[in-house]
Amino acid sequence: MNATRRRTYRTRPLLAALVLAAGSVSGMAATAGTASADGQTCEQFGSATTPGGYIVQNNAWGTSAPQCVNQVGDGFELTTADGSVSTGGAPKSYPSIYVGCHYTNCSPGTNLPKQVSAIGSVPSQIEYKYTGGAVYDAAFDIWLDPAPKTDGVNQTEIMIWLNKVGPIQPIGSKTGTATIAGQTWDVWKGNNGGNDVVSYVAPSALTGLSFDVKDFVNGAISEGLATPDWYLTSVQAGFEPWENGAGLAVTTFSASVN
């Protein structure tokens, strides 16, 4: 996919989940196409289905440099991530794992899109493995739209940055802080030229998180960026690298829409 398919950007210093309401913390997305049963993909928009019914996507939408992801259980490792892009602009890719629908590629048996008002909870868990020598963020990417879309860009994007390395920042500007999932987050709001974005940024790196995604969806509603009659279309977790990135991994991912 091209940048328009992933999301439309303006030039900026940048621009990505889910846990029981109490929240606990440990220290610190695919395009159209057929998903394979498992294993590695180096195709720009290649994907693989995990044993738990999630989709791992390479999603190298912003680069022509070699990039490969290796699906491992309900997770993945970025095994090749060559090249770099300006840290004053968009990242080069979003290798990730997700539940729901992304450019018509829907995870097996998903009940998304689903109207927010009909969702009781979305418990989720994530564990990340980080590496050196790279500029990146580790982020959830949660998509909301007034319609039950299974293709194209949604109107509102929620990003949850558990970690960022290098001179990068979310889209827009910092507007305050919020306490969600038992953590305090810096809140950034803006528009990338294609959709509204609200980002929740951890003040220091987290390697994992367990929480309820709906708490962040409710946060976006309180920010005026969605309403309860909108639809949740996908929940994604991965990395946005600007420079290198081989060795970054999601070791655990789970999310269920109740």
Catalytic residues: 157, 240
Do residues 208 and 25 make contact, with C-beta atoms less than 8 angstroms apart? Answer: yes
In angstroms, the CA 41 to CA 70 distance is 7
Give the single-character DSSP code of 171: S
Residue 220 backbone dihedrals phi, psi, to 5 degrees = -65, -35
Q: How many beta carbons lie within 10 A of that of residue 109, not counting itself? A: 7
Q: Helix, strand or coil for residue 256?
A: coil
The one-letter amino acid code at 207 reads T
Tokens at residue 91, please? Answer: 């990242």
User: String of b and e for 207-240 (b: at least 16 CB within 10 Å)?
Assistant: bbbbbbbbbbbebbbebebbeeebbbbbbbbbbb
- For residue 76, what are the contacts with CB-CB under 8 A and spacing of at least 6? 56, 69, 70, 95, 97, 238, 249, 250
